[in-house]
C-alpha cells in the first residue's frame, strides 16, 4: 500500500498501522467530556459579546434544505434569504453558504452568483450506501453544477467493522473528485455513538485530506451535541499541533436557538481557539437557527422582541 | 470580522444580599452583643472593601452559648423524636435552596471564590447535606451503631474559610440529625454566611439554643473547644491548629474529629484520557483558587506523556479567566486574605530558590485585593518544600514517575493522606492503585467530587474521623 497522508506518513502506510494509530489516540472519558461541555455552557454572554457572537453565528451558517420536497422555488427563496437574511437591515451579515442536494446546486448558483459558497451533499447522502463509483459520480455532478463545497458522508458500516483503510481510501477518492472544491466529511456521530469513535473518525478524515469535519447529516438523532463538537474541536486543535494544517469543524443538525449557537461559539473559542472563530473554520448546518438569531439581533438593536412575523419564513 | 470574541462583564447582582453594617453573636436563638464589646472587620478579598463589622466572642460569650446549647439539648432537641428533628432539617434545606442566590453572592463577596462555584458547587452541596442528614434523623437505629444510639450532647465546631457555608453544613447537619446541639465558630475572614445561616435557623423556627454561632479568631476557637460543657469537638482547618487542639484536649473525655491539611497526588498514566485528565488537573488545583484541603497539588505524570500533558495543561491554563468573583464567567477568584497570599508567595519563592521552574498563566491581576495567577512548577523533586508542604493556593507541583509502583510510592510519600486522583483508561489499574494509595478519598478519572452520601476524611496528619454519609454519623452518636 502507498502512503496516503502527506502529514503523518507513518500512520497510513498500511491498514494495521492506520488502525494502530487511531486506537493509539488518547481515549475520551465520557463523563469528563460531558462535564466540560456543560461547564462551558454556563458562560454568560451578554451585551456587546452577544451582539458579536450573533453576527458571527449568522455569517457561519450553511443555510440548508435537504428534503425530498425541495423545489426550485423553495431553493431560490432560501438562497435569497442567505444573501440577505434581514431585508430590513443592511448591516446584517450574509450566511456563509447554501447547502442543498446536487440537483439543486445550479438553481442556487443562479441566485447567489459568486457572492456565497454553494455546498452540496453528495456520496449517496445521507446513508452513503452505494458503490464508490456512484459516490464519485454524485460528487462530480455537484461540482460540475457549480458547488464549491462538498459535504460527503463516511461509510459508517466500514468504520464500525474496522475497515478504516476503506473509509480513508473513499475520502481520498472523493477529495480528488472534488477537483478543488472544499471537502466537508460528515462523520454521522449519532451512528458512531462513542466519543472514542468520534475522535478516531475525526483523525481518519483529517488524514485523508478533509478540509472540514462535520458532525451529522441531520437525518439521524442525536445530531450535533456540545460534547461531540468538543471532541471534534480537540481533534482539529491537536491535528494542527501535529501537522501544521488547520481543519474546520461544522456542527449540523439540532441547533435551533441563538442561545445554543452562542454556546457553540464559546466552545470554539475556549477549546480550539480564536483562529477557528471565522466562517472559513467553523460552520453551523442549520435552517431554523437563522430566524432565531435574527430575532435576537433585532432585540439587541431595538431593545424589544419583535416576533416571528418580523423575520421571513422560507 | 477582525475583533475578538471578548466576553462582556456579566456580574451577578450584589443587591440581592442585604448585609448589616454590624453583626452580634447568635446565642440562644437571638443576636446579642458580645460581653466585651470587641469587634473586627470582614472584608471582600477581591476589593479590600469592608463588608461588615463582626463581634469577637470572648470566654463569657462562649460560656453563654454552651449553656444555651446545653439547655436546648436537655429540654428540647435531645428528647425530640428523630422524625420531628428531620422536619426542621428539611425546612432548613429548603430555605437554603430558596435563598440560594443570595447566599452564593454573600459567599463570593466574603470569600473571594467565583460565583460560578458558589452557585453551582457550594450551595447545591449545602442543601444536599441538610437533605441527606434530614433523612437519617429518624433512621439512626439502622445506621449500624447499635439498636438505640444516643446523641453525644453539645458539639463545639470550628470551621475554615475555604468553603464557609459548606463546612458549616458538613458540621451542623449530622450533629443536629443525631440530636446534638451546636456552638459553631466560622473563620474570622469569612463569618458572613454563618450569620446568614443564623437567620435561616430563626426563619425555620429552630428551637432556641440548638444552633449558636460565635464569631471570632483563634482565641475564640480555643475557648470553645476547651470549654468544659462541650462534649464533642469537630474541627476542620490546618494541621498545625488541629495538632494544638488535639494536645489541649488530650486526657479529657471530649470526643474529637479533625479534618486537616493535604498534599494530594493526582496520578496521570500514559493511557489516560488526556484532555479529561487535564480538566481534572485544572479542577484539582485551581478550583476555589487551590484553597482546598483535598486539592490535587502534586501532579504525578508518567514520563512518557509528560511533555504532552504539560503542553495541554499550559494551553488550558491560559484560558482560565481570573478576576471579579461576582462575574459569572470568572474561573479563578481572589485569594482569601493578605496573610494567605503572603504564605503562597513565600512557598512559591522557595520553589524558585530550590531550583524548580515556575510558569504562570498569562493573566492580568487586578490592582486591588489579593490575587495570585494560576501557577505550575516543573522540575520538582520530592525533596522540594513545594512538593511536601501544603501551599493552599493555585500552585501545582509537577513530578514524574515511570511505573505504577513508583507512582504509589511517591504519592504515599507525604505526611498527609486526605485524597488522591488516578487517571487511566485501565479499570484494573484503578483498583490496584486505590488499594495501595493511603488516602481517605481516591478519585478515579475525576477530582474534587463531593456527595453527602460519601464519607470524607484523612489518613495520617490529614486527621481522623469521617464526615459524610453513614460514617459521618459516628462522631455524633454514643
To 5 degrees, how large is the angle CA B352–CA B113–CA B57?
100
C-alpha cell at B31: 443576636
Q: Residue A314: its pLDDT value, please?
A: 75
What is the model's pLDDT at position B2? 46
Say if residue A255's pLDDT is above 60.
Answer: yes
H/E stretch holding B286 reads helix B274-286
Strand bridging mode A97-100 / B265-268: unpaired
Angle at B262 between CA B261 and CA B264, to 5 degrees: 170
Q: Which chain B positions have a beta carbon within 8 Å of A52's beta carbon?
A: 1, 3, 5-6
* A43–B328 C-beta distance less than 8 A: yes
Q: What is the mean pLDDT of residues A246-261?
A: 97
A52 to chain B, closest Cα gap in Å? 7
Alpha helical stretches, state H, B51-206: 59-72, 82-98, 100-111, 115-117, 123-136, 164-177, 192-203
Annotated active-site residue B117? The verdict is no
In this model, does residue B450 exceed pLDDT 50? yes
Instruction: Please check the confidence at residue A3 and state whether its pLDDT lies above 60.
Output: no
Q: So what's the pLDDT on residue B36?
A: 93
**pLDDT above 70 covers what percent of chain B?**
99
Kindly list the residues from chain A whose CB atom is less than 8 angstroms away from the CB atom of residue B6: 48-49, 52
Closest CA to B158 of B91, B248, B78: B248
Question: Residue A161 — very low, low, confident or very high, per pLDDT cuts 50/70/90?
Answer: very high
* pLDDT score, position A312: 87
Q: Which residue has the higher pLDDT, A2 or A145?
A: A145
A-chain residues near B318 (CB < 8 A) = none
**Does the structure show a pLDDT above 90 at A308?**
no
When pLDDT is cut at 50, 70 and 90, the band that residue A186 belongs to is very high
pLDDT digits (tens, 9 = 90+) for B306-344: 999 999 999 999 999 999 999 999 999 999 999 999 999
What residues does B211 pair with on adjacent strands? B182
Does B3 have pLDDT greater than 80?
no
- pLDDT score, position A2: 46
A81, A148, A214, A260: which one is catalytic? A214
B151, B183, B179, B156: which is closest to B68 by C-alpha? B183
How big is the CA angle at A269 (ends A266 and A271), to the nearest 5 degrees?
100
Q: Indicate yes or no: CB of A32 within 8 angstroms of CB of B272.
A: no
Q: Specify the higher pLDDT residue, A309 or B102.
A: B102
Instruction: Give the SS3 label for residue B171.
Output: helix
pLDDT score at A9: 78
Find the radius of gyration of the CA atoms of chain A.
19
Distances (CA, A) of B174 to A235, B153, B157, B315, B441: 47, 13, 12, 42, 20
Confidence of residue B1 (pLDDT cuts 50, 70, 90): very low
DSSP B360: E
Residue with cell 476557637: B221
**Which pLDDT belongs to residue B429?**
98
Site of grid cell 452520601: B453
What is the predicted pLDDT for the residue at A8? 82
Average pLDDT value over all residues in chain B: 97
Q: Is A244 left (phi over 0), alpha (psi -120 to 50) or beta?
A: left
B197-237 pLDDT, tens digit each: 999 999 999 999 999 999 999 999 999 999 999 999 999 99
Please check whether residue B72 is in contact with residue B207, taking contact to mean a CB–CB distance below 8 angstroms: yes
Task: For residues B182 and B163, give the distance between their C-alpha atoms in angstroms, rounded to a whole number.
Answer: 19
Peptide bond into A126 cis (omega under 30): yes
Distance CA A40, CA A38 (A): 5
Judged by CB atoms closer than 8 Å, whether chains meet at A33 and B120 is answered as: no
> Count of A–B CB contacts within 8 Å?
74
Which pLDDT tens digit goes with each residue over A227-238? 999 999 999 999
pLDDT in tens, A56-92: 999 999 999 999 999 999 999 999 999 999 999 999 9
Q: Which of A26, A167, A148 is nearest to A98 (CA)?
A: A148
Q: Which three cell numbers stand for residue B386?
A: 513545594
Shortest distance, CA B5 to any CA of chain A (angstroms): 7
pLDDT in tens, B56-76: 999 999 999 999 999 999 999
B419-447: b or e for each residue (b if 16 or more CB lie within 10 Å)? bbbbbbbeeebbebbeebbbbbbbbbbbb
Q: Crossing angle for the helix pair A226-243 and A258-267, nearest 10 degrees?
A: 30
What number is the average pLDDT over the span B348-365?
Answer: 97
Smallest CA–CA distance, residue B141 to chain A, in Å, is 36
Task: Using the Cα atoms of residue B439, residue B441, residue B447 and residue B450 in order, give the sign of their dihedral.
Answer: negative
Of B56, B188, B259, B467, the catalytic one is B259
ipTM for this prediction: 0.94
**Site of grid cell 433585532:** A298
What 3 state SS string does B172-226 have? HHHHHHCCCEEEEECCCCCCHHHHHHHHHHHHCCCCCCCEEECCCCHHHHHHHHH
Show residues of chain A in contact with B116, CB under 8 Å.
42
Active-site pick, A81, A250, A260, A292: A250
Confidence of residue A11 (pLDDT cuts 50, 70, 90): confident
pLDDT at A198: 98
Confidence label for A4 from pLDDT (cuts 50, 70 and 90): low
Strand B375-378 relative to strand B357-360, pairing: antiparallel
Neighbours of B52 (CB within 10 A): 18
Find the Cα–Cα–Cα–Cα dihedral B199, B204, B205, B206, rounded to 10°: -80
What is the β-pairing status of strands A182-186 and A212-214? parallel
Q: Which residue has the cell 453528495?
A: A122
CA distances (Å), B140 to each of B77, B92, B469, in order? 15, 20, 12
pLDDT above 70 for A1: no
CB B273 within 8 A of CB B400: no
Amino acid at each position: 500500500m502507498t502512503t496516503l497522508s502527506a502529514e503523518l506518513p507513518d500512520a497510513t502506510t498500511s491498514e494495521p498501522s492506520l488502525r494502530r494509530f487511531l486506537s493509539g489516540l488518547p481515549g475520551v472519558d465520557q463523563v469528563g467530556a460531558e462535564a466540560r461541555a456543560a461547564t462551558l455552557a454556563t458562560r454568560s454572554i451578554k451585551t456587546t459579546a452577544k451582539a458579536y457572537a450573533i453576527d458571527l453565528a449568522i455569517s457561519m451558517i450553511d443555510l440548508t434544505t435537504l428534503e425530498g420536497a425541495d423545489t426550485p422555488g423553495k431553493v431560490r427563496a432560501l438562497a435569497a434569504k442567505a444573501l440577505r437574511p434581514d431585508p430590513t437591515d443592511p448591516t446584517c451579515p450574509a450566511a456563509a453558504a447554501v447547502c442543498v442536494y446536487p440537483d439543486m446546486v445550479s438553481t442556487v448558483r443562479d441566485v447567489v452568483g459568486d457572492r456565497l459558497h454553494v455546498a452540496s451533499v453528495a456520496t449517496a447522502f445521507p446513508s452513503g450506501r452505494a458503490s464508490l463509483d456512484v459516490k464519485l459520480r454524485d460528487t462530480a455532478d455537484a461540482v460540475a453544477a457549480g458547488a464549491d463545497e462538498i459535504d460527503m458522508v463516511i461509510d459508517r458500516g466500514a468504520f464500525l467493522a474496522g475497515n478504516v483503510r476503506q473509509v480513508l481510501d473513499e475520502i481520498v477518492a472523493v477529495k480528488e473528485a472534488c477537483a478543488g472544491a472544499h471537502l466537508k466529511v460528515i462523520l454521522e456521530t449519532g451512528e458512531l455513538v462513542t466519543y472514542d469513535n468520534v475522535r478516531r473518525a475525526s483523525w481518519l478524515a483529517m488524514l485523508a485530506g478533509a478540509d472540514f469535519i462535520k458532525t451529522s447529516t441531520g437525518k439521524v438523532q442525536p445530531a450535533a451535541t456540545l460534547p461531540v463538537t468538543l471532541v471534534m474541536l480537540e481533534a482539529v486543535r491537536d491535528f494542527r499541533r501535529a501537522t501544521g494544517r488547520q481543519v474546520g469543524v461544522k456542527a449540523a443538525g439540532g441547533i435551533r436557538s441563538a442561545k445554543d449557537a452562542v454556546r457553540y461559539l464559546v466552545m470554539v473559542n475556549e477549546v480550539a481557539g480564536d483562529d477557528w472563530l471565522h466562517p472559513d473554520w467553523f460552520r453551523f448546518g442549520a435552517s431554523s437557527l437563522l430566524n432565531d438569531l435574527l430575532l435576537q439581533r433585532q432585540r439587541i438593536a431595538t431593545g424589544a422582541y419583535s416576533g416571528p412575523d418580523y423575520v421571513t419564513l422560507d | 470580522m477582525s475583533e475578538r470574541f471578548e466576553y462582556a462583564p456579566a456580574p451577578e447582582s450584589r443587591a440581592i444580599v442585604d448585609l448589616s453594617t454590624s453583626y452580634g453573636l447568635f446565642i440562644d436563638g437571638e443576636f446579642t452583643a458580645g460581653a466585651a464589646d470587641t469587634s473586627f472587620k470582614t472584608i471582600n478579598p477581591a476589593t479590600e472593601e469592608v463588608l461588615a463589622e463582626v463581634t469577637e466572642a470572648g470566654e463569657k460569650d462562649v460560656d453563654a452559648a454552651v449553656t444555651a446549647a446545653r439547655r436546648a439539648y436537655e429540654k428540647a432537641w435531645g428528647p425530640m423524636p428523630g422524625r420531628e428533628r428531620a422536619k426542621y432539617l428539611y425546612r432548613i434545606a429548603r430555605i437554603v435552596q430558596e435563598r440560594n442566590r443570595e447566599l452564593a453572592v454573600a459567599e463570593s463577596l466574603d470569600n473571594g471564590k467565583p460565583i460560578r462555584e458558589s452557585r453551582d458547587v457550594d450551595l447545591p452541596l449545602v442543601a444536599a447535606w441538610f437533605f441527606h442528614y434530614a433523612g437519617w434523623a429518624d433512621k439512626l437505629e439502622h445506621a449500624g451503631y447499635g439498636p438505640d444510639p444516643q446523641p453525644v450532647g453539645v458539639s463545639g465546631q470550628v470551621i475554615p474559610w475555604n468553603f464557609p457555608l459548606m463546612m458549616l453544613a458538613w458540621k451542623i447537619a449530622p450533629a443536629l440529625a443525631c440530636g446534638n446541639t451546636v456552638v459553631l465558630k466560622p473563620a474570622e475572614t469569612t463569618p458572613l454566611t454563618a450569620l446568614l445561616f443564623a437567620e435561616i435557623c430563626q426563619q425555620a423556627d429552630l428551637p432556641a439554643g440548638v444552633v449558636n454561632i460565635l464569631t471570632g479568631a483563634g482565641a475564640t476557637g480555643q475557648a470553645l473547644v476547651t470549654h468544659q460543657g462541650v462534649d464533642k469537638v469537630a474541627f476542620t482547618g490546618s494541621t498545625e491548629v488541629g495538632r494544638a487542639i488535639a494536645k489541649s484536649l488530650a486526657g479529657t473525655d471530649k470526643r474529637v474529629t479533625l479534618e486537616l491539611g493535604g498534599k494530594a497526588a493526582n496520578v496521570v498514566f500514559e493511557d489516560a484520557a488526556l484532555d479529561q485528565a487535564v480538566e481534572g488537573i485544572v479542577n484539582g488545583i485551581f478550583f476555589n483558587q487551590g484553597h482546598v484541603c483535598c486539592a490535587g497539588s502534586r501532579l504525578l505524570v508518567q514520563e512518557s506523556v509528560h511533555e504532552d500533558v504539560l503542553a495541554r495543561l499550559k494551553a488550558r491554563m491560559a484560558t482560565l479567566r481570573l478576576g471579579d468573583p461576582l462575574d459569572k464567567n470568572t474561573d479563578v477568584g481572589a485569594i482569601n486574605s493578605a496573610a494567605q497570599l503572603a504564605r503562597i508567595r513565600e512557598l512559591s519563592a522557595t520553589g524558585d530558590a530550590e531550583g524548580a521552574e515556575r510558569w504562570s498563566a498569562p493573566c492580568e491581576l487586578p490592582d486591588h485585593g489579593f490575587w495570585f495567577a494560576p501557577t505550575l512548577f516543573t522540575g520538582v523533586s520530592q525533596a522540594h518544600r513545594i512538593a511536601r508542604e501544603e501551599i493552599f493556593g493555585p500552585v501545582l507541583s509537577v513530578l514524574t514517575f515511570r511505573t505504577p509502583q513508583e507512582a504509589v510510592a511517591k504519592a504515599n510519600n507525604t505526611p498527609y493522606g486526605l485524597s488522591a486522583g488516578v487517571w487511566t483508561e485501565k479499570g484494573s489499574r484503578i483498583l490496584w492503585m486505590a488499594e495501595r494509595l493511603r488516602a481517605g478519598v481516591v478519585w478515579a478519572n475525576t477530582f474534587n467530587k463531593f456527595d453527602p452520601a460519601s464519607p470524607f476524611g484523612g489518613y495520617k496528619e490529614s486527621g481522623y474521623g469521617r464526615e459524610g454519609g453513614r460514617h459521618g454519623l459516628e462522631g455524633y452518636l454514643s
